[in-house]
Amino acid sequence: MFISSQRSAPSFRDFTLVMPAVAVGNVGQLAVDLIVSTLNMSRVGHIHTDCLIPMAGNNPYASCKEDGEELHTPAEVYAAAELKLAVLQIRAPILQSKTKKFRQLLVSWIKSSGFSRTVVLSSSHAYQRDDQQLQGTPLRYLVTPSLLKGSADALKELGWREMERVPAFPGLTDGNTEPRLCIPGGGITKGLYTDSCKEDLPLAVLLLFCSEGDNIPDAFALANHLNDWLHLLDDNSKQPNKWKIPTSWSLLFGNGIPPALF
């Protein structure tokens, strides 16, 4: 359920929704952090659900001490009305037994809000790539038939590679088996894409093949690819310093080594 933090519920009619999938390296979540921080987006509400591990913390985008004392929750919605852009940031893992319920909640909210399109930022294990997926850049995309109607030319111009389907049993040749969509480490990405196809929702997935570790460069790369399509920044330069790093990133790997140890 979406709960507004404003007196009147915001209208998302014809907005673009950008959201992450909780996936390998948290690349989608980090990319969303860059978008919210750089565009100085306002928090307009949150998603109340029992599908996420409950947690709370300080404002991850705080610019002063007063802002840092705000309480933030696992699934929050931010908006930039001038860009007709909304962002759902998910900061907690999805309970394994409730992934289907969470996908249904998202699909229902997306449909009722009237978003013109939804873009899911995700990632997948690089070490589980098929031979054909080793070619080209680590970026792949998926798009539902509903969105492809109006975005085919733009996607073709960008020159991105669509996510390849892989054999159900790698290494075995079986003419009776159709190649399948497989996104290892992608969380709800595949399920949400499949659900959106069935519900005729205009949805796209942008994902990077990556490994666990320092995934900040992957987040910049994914944010830059999204910007190439949506033109979120006035300056189309791909320099990383065009994105504003949120203050919370200073704690990504915990505190430094205590000097008392030495």
pLDDT in tens, 152-185: 889 889 999 999 988 877 666 666 678 889 999 9
| Residue 217 to residue 199: CA distance in whole angstroms | 34
Name the helix (H) or strand (E) containing 203: strand 203-210
**How sure is the predictor about 71, in pLDDT bands with cuts at 50, 70 and 90?**
confident
Query: Poorest-confidence range of 59-63, 138-142, 219-223, 253-257?
Result: 253-257
| Average pLDDT score over residue span 30-49 | 94
| Residue 105 to residue 117: CA distance in whole angstroms | 17
What's the pLDDT score for residue 235? Answer: 60
Query: If you average pLDDT over each of 87-91, 165-169, 237-241, 252-256, which comes out highest?
Result: 87-91
Six-digit token string for 38? 């750089």
pTM of the model: 0.90
**How sure is the predictor about 31, in pLDDT bands with cuts at 50, 70 and 90?**
very high
| Residue extents of the structural domains in the chain | 8-38+95-167+180-233
What's the pLDDT score for residue 105? Answer: 95
Quick one: which of 116, 140, 122 has its CA closest to 130? 140
Cβ contact 205:118 at 8 Å = no
| Residue 124 to residue 134: CA distance in whole angstroms | 13
Residue 73 CB-density burial (10 A; 0-12 exposed, 13-18 middle, 19+ buried): middle
Cβ contact 224:164 at 8 Å = no
Cβ contact 152:202 at 8 Å = no
Q: Is 251 a residue whose pLDDT tops 80?
A: no
User: What CATH number belongs to 8-38+95-167+180-233?
Assistant: 3.40.50.10900
